[in-house]
């Protein structure tokens, strides 16, 4: 059984968990954006769900946060 009903729900959950992790380690959007090679406004659009999060960016974000990608899928 799937944990999420739609891909939109999955993406929304991932973005929420990314934001929580970013805040937990005390990074601003600007600092994380810089670590992954984006401008702050481009990153903000991803975190707010206005720009689609692709797998490549997801992996860069998890690396910049120092967490394993699988950790975002564990309950």
Domains of the chain (ranges; CATH) run 7-67 (1.10.260.40)
> Which pLDDT belongs to residue 5?
73
pTM: 0.85
Q: How confident is the model at residue 3 (pLDDT cuts 50, 70, 90)?
A: low
Decide if pLDDT at 18 tops 80.
Answer: yes
DSSP assignments along 40-75, one per residue: HHHHHHHHTTSS---HHHHHHHHHHHT--GGGGT--
Residue pair 65/21 in contact by the 8 Å Cβ criterion: yes
- When pLDDT is averaged across residues 54-59 and rounded to a whole number, the result is 95
Number of residues written out for the chain: 75
- When pLDDT is averaged across residues 20-24 and rounded to a whole number, the result is 97
């Amino acid at each position: 059984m799937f944990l999420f009903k739609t891909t939109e729900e999955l993406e929304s959950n991932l973005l929420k968990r990314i934001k929580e992790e970013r805040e937990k380690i005390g990074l601003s959007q600007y600092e994380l954006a810089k670590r992954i090679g984006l401008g702050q406004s481009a990153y903000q659009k991803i975190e707010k769900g206005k720009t689609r999060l692709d797998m490549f960016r997801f992996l860069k974000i998890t690396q910049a946060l120092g967490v394993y990608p699988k950790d975002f899928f564990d309950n």
